[in-house]
Structure 1
């Protein structure tokens, strides 16, 4: 399996898959209110007409409420991958 390169330090690559473009955009909007981000890129997702949306978040430029959550949360140290993740 090919692995994508990791994003640079302090950034996170986000992939949103939704049944409609509007649902994907709504989730992306919430994330953009919490973090600085790149322009979103959207692609068709599957034969059923879904949407896959990609964006990069800058976790170093977090806004509330993400900033307070990040300062109080701790990593579990466990990496979990869903069976259908690419």
Structure 2
């Protein structure tokens, strides 16, 4: 069953990140990679479907480090386009 999660938008300059992985180690590895690029909050971990892991964190997109700042500036997706068919 597919559902749409409703919640409050993060503050300006921040993004809520949801990581879904088969193992906690894989989810933590992705969160660590994000932390190398952005400052962020402590991650929150939840059990996922079928024994997987869901990990949530908030990142500060206004504070970037290293080459990610340049990459972000040149890779903006046009407004109104979605990367996945299930995104609205």
Question: What is the match of residue 22 of structure 2?
Answer: 19
- Post-superposition offset of 1:70: 1.6
Instruction: Could you tell me which runs of 5 or more consecutive residues in structure 2 were left unpaired when the two chains were aligned.
Output: none
Question: What is the match of residue 50 of structure 1?
Answer: 52
Instruction: Could you tell me which runs of 5 or more consecutive residues in structure 1 were left unpaired when the two chains were aligned.
Output: none
- With structure 2 as the length reference, what TM-score do the two structures score? 0.84
What secondary structure, in the 3-state scheme, does the structure 1 residue paired with 2:34 have?
helix
- Post-superposition offset of 1:82: 4.2
Farther-moved stretch of structure 1 (56-65 vs 15-24): 56-65
- With structure 1 as the length reference, what TM-score do the two structures score? 0.85
- Compared CA separation, residues 26 and 2, structure 1 to 2 (3 A): closer
User: C-alpha distance in 1, partners of 2:5/2:68?
Assistant: 31
- Compared CA separation, residues 18 and 2, structure 1 to 2 (3 A): closer
Query: Displaced runs of 4+ in structure 1, greater than 6 A?
Result: none
For residue 77 of structure 1, the aligned residue among 51, 76, 79 is 79
User: C-alpha distance in 2, partners of 1:32/1:22?
Assistant: 15
For residue 9 of structure 1, the aligned residue among 7, 12, 31 is 12
What secondary structure, in the 3-state scheme, does the structure 2 residue paired with 1:53 have?
strand
RMSD: 1.7
